[in-house]
Structure 1
Amino acid sequence: MRAILIDDEPDNIQLLALQLGRHCPEVEVVGQYTDSAEGLKAIRTLKPALVFLDIEMPVMNGFQLLEKIGEISFAIIFITAYDQYAVKAFRFSALDYLLKPVDTIDLVAAVRKAEQYNKVNPAQLELLRQHYTLSGNNHPQRIALPHAHGLVFADIRQIIYCESDSNYTRCYLENGEQYLVSKTLGDVQEVLEPHDFIRVHRQYLVNLSHIQKLIKGEGIYLLLSNGKSIPVARQQKEKLLERFGWL
């Protein structure tokens, strides 16, 4: 795979090129750029199959560079030192990222993934840009759900609850649709918790805004807006009451 490296820090680029040479012989580095404008020009002229792209660069960041490309015909591996909420969105998506300093095992895995998936969905890229840009309580209200046949872009507010299904997660929406997502419930939880979702049971993650009743009997159950009854694990009861503000 012909690859271009774009990062405004020369030391990072040199180290990444060294790691690729040692551990990823299938990758041929045809260009290294510390200036995003030069990197953009190189993408247009060299037409690489793979681009390692730093997100945080002066003048033009990684997302701004991609906006100028137009149709993206190459695989992308993002590089970032930003290990916060936005990174969870990258982990959840089909696009890949590497945290600085780059770990060799992660690098090899990302390259293998890029060999298999070399097309970028523009809508998904836009969602990632929003996740990366927004912070605090101002999170994007849509999410890309990767499933067996591609991606579904869903309004987070319409997701009623998510249910663990082995190494997959089934997401249930207001309109009655359900999607089997190729992520564990833990992965889904990481992305949805900032949107007022709470893990009430090892098998269930629920949207607080869709809880209608808490029912006490032999155990504790939640009645959701679609009529579904969800059990609450004993150890999660206090966490749920605290989060919801019930007396």
Structure 2
Amino acid sequence: MLKAILIDDEPDCVELLARELSEYCPQVQVVGRSTTSEDGLRLIQILQPDIVFLDIEMPRMNGFQLLEKIGTISFNLIFVTAYNEFAVKAFRFSALDYLLKPIDTLDLQEAVRKAERQQRVDSRQLDMLKSQFHSRHLAEKIAVPYQQGVIFLPVSEIIYCESDSNYTKVIAIQHRQYLLTRTLREVQEVLEERNFLRIHRQYVINLDQIKLFMKGEGSYVVMTNDISIPVARNQKEKLVQRFGWL
């Protein structure tokens, strides 16, 4: 049984989340609820939860400031946030878990399942997320979770990303390869503003890592690691537009 604390300055959101957890996530026991950061901090220190559902935007002390007062985080953390396109990309870059309001039941169940098997939060993930929220600029690195922790991979070192069912393989320089528990569409949303382009239903490529483009029927690109990747017919024009000289 996971002991959970819910912290959100909107009482209705706290009540609704508690009901959703009770009905759809029986492995979670809500041991504390708070509508202020100060009280939430006190509950965390006293109750020592396994998981905390935390809103970021709260008066007087926001979620980041609360976490700074805690210091070392010994619990699983799920942020709860209102919809914001930039915020979603920031969370995905940092690989920290989040739920969008209004909370979808399936997303909640998946977040809880991930919390059951997830490692402790890496402080660098929080630093990355906080920096992006404050600067409104996407980070130069992407956090890639793996079994023993989190790798912080420079975006410029990614050659391409390949769909693998509900996962995504990230191929980087120096023959490195990582498996993300994200769909290629999610990865595309994170990287599309960073000179990446989805040229095929299975591939998102780093345009800075293209070595050769072969035009004509059956177009394809050759990446810097000498791997050939097909260019879908309906994506060829987008590639041409990104490289005006084609």
More deviation, 73-82/159-168:
159-168
Whole-angstrom CA distance in 1 between matches of 2:13 and 2:165: 38
Aligned residue for 2:214, secondary structure, equals strand
Mapping of residues 215-226 of structure 1, within 5 Å: 215-226=214-225
Contact (CA 8 Å) 2:93, 2:142: kept in 1 or not? no
Letter in 2 for 1:169: T
Contact (CA 8 Å) 1:92, 1:187: kept in 2 or not? no
Contact (CA 8 Å) 2:90, 2:138: kept in 1 or not? no
Whole-angstrom CA distance in 2 between matches of 1:131 and 1:72: 20
> Who is 1:38 aligned against?
39
TM-score, normalised to structure 2's length?
0.86
Aligned residue for 2:57, secondary structure, equals coil
Whole-angstrom CA distance in 2 between matches of 1:210 and 1:199: 14
Check 1:28–1:167 CA distance in 2 against 1; reply closer, same or farther (3 A cut).
closer
Count residues in correspondence.
Answer: 245
Whole-angstrom CA distance in 2 between matches of 1:153 and 1:53: 24
> Who is 2:167 aligned against?
168
TM-score, normalised to structure 1's length?
0.86
Check 1:225–1:26 CA distance in 2 against 1; reply closer, same or farther (3 A cut).
closer
Q: 1:203, CA displacement in angstroms?
A: 2.3
Aligned residue for 1:139, secondary structure, equals coil
Letter in 2 for 1:201: H
Contact (CA 8 Å) 2:94, 2:142: kept in 1 or not? no
Mapping of residues 111-190 of structure 1, within 5 Å: 111-117=112-118, 119-135=120-136, 138-147=137-146, 150-190=149-189
> Who is 1:245 aligned against?
244
Whole-angstrom CA distance in 1 between matches of 2:48 and 2:106: 27
Letter in 1 for 2:37: S
Q: Unpaired runs of 5+ in structure 1? A: none
Aligned residue for 1:195, secondary structure, equals coil
> Who is 2:67 aligned against?
66
Q: Unpaired runs of 5+ in structure 2? A: none
Seq. identity, %: 58
Q: 1:149, CA displacement in angstroms?
A: 5.2
Q: 1:93, CA displacement in angstroms?
A: 6.3
> Who is 1:3 aligned against?
4
Whole-angstrom CA distance in 1 between matches of 2:182 and 2:138: 21
> Who is 2:200 aligned against?
201
Aligned residue for 2:221, secondary structure, equals strand
Aligned residue for 1:194, secondary structure, equals coil
Task: Indicate the RMSD between aligned Cα atoms, in angstroms.
Answer: 2.5
Aligned residue for 2:237, secondary structure, equals helix
Contact (CA 8 Å) 1:208, 1:244: kept in 2 or not? no
Q: 1:150, CA displacement in angstroms?
A: 4.2
Mapping of residues 49-88 of structure 1, within 5 Å: 49-88=50-89
Whole-angstrom CA distance in 2 between matches of 1:14 and 1:149: 35
Whole-angstrom CA distance in 1 between matches of 2:181 and 2:24: 28
Aligned residue for 1:44, secondary structure, equals helix
